[in-house]
Amino acid sequence: MNEEVSSPGVAKTFGIIHLVFAGLGAVMLIFGVISLATGGSGMSFGGDAPGAEEIQQIQHDLMALPAMKANMYIGIVVGVLMTVLLVVAGLHLLKRQSSGRTLSLAYAGIGIAYTIISVAFNYLAIMPAEMDLYMASGLDENMVNAMVMTAKFKPAFGLCCGLPYPVIILIFMLPEKFARSLTGSAAVTAPEVIPPPKID
């Protein structure tokens, strides 16, 4: 019984973290919608700085790619779903409801699957076209090389951002001990058995 004492605190901690991450996710979704609606034209790259116009054109052409548009549309839909899941799961965990664990595990599964698929899609479908745009931009060779290196690191960055929290959720919430703490069974003790009186 002692090993389950901290589980309610863990559940509430995850509930708070869920809500914080949901808020951050909502902010990122807003920026994603704005970027998709403006085609990247709302983003500034240094005004009159050398290469700013070329970089702006690259961004515009990149946002016009069908693969990029599809990736962003799907990302927004999945992002909305995962944000809602986090909010509801977080509220349920704060109330120590078992549905909070179920929704959290659903979020973790969707998050891991989507991160892997999205990174693979970016690497196979978007990155080659992005490289071509950089090479044909007419920018300074050093700048092009820097942009190419940044593009190559983006898949790894995506994995580092998308996988840790879902994996942590699985580690903490998959064990049955966590589930029992939410349903309240950990707080229920067996009734005391009173032995019958001895008869001499």
Q: How far apart are CA 194 and CA 183, in angstroms?
A: 28
Q: How do residues 108-159 score in pLDDT, each as one tens digit? A: 999 999 999 999 999 999 998 888 888 888 788 888 888 888 888 888 888 9
Q: What sign does the dihedral 44-121-125-73 (CA atoms) show?
A: negative
What sign for the dihedral angle of Cα 160, 166, 169, 170? negative
Q: What is the value of pTM for the model shown?
A: 0.78
For residue 186, what pLDDT is reported?
A: 41
In a domain, 200, yes or no: no
In sequence order, what are the residues at sequence separation of 6 or more whose Cβ sits closer than 8 angstroms to the Cβ of residue 31? none
Instruction: Decide if 40 is inside a domain.
Output: yes
Whether 132 is in a domain gets the answer yes
Residue 86 falls within a domain, yes or no? yes
Identify whether 168 is part of a domain. Answer: yes
Quick count: other Cβ atoms within 10 Å of Cβ 32?
15
d(CA 76, CA 84): 12
Q: Which domain holds residue 151?
A: 2-183
* Chain segment 11-67, per-residue pLDDT in tens: 999 999 999 999 999 999 999 888 878 766 555 555 555 667 888 888 888 888 899
Is 166 a domain residue? Answer: yes
Indicate whether 198 belongs to any domain: no
| CA atoms of 112 and 120, how far apart (whole Å) | 12
Beta-carbon count within 10 A of 173 CB: 22
User: Does any domain span residue 190?
Assistant: no
> H-type helices in the chain, by residue range?
7-38, 52-64, 66-94, 98-121, 127-135, 141-162, 164-173, 176-183
Residue with tokens 């058995």: 193
Q: pLDDT for 66-112, tens place per residue?
A: 998 899 999 999 999 999 999 999 999 999 999 999 999 999 999 99
Number of structural domains the chain divides into? 1
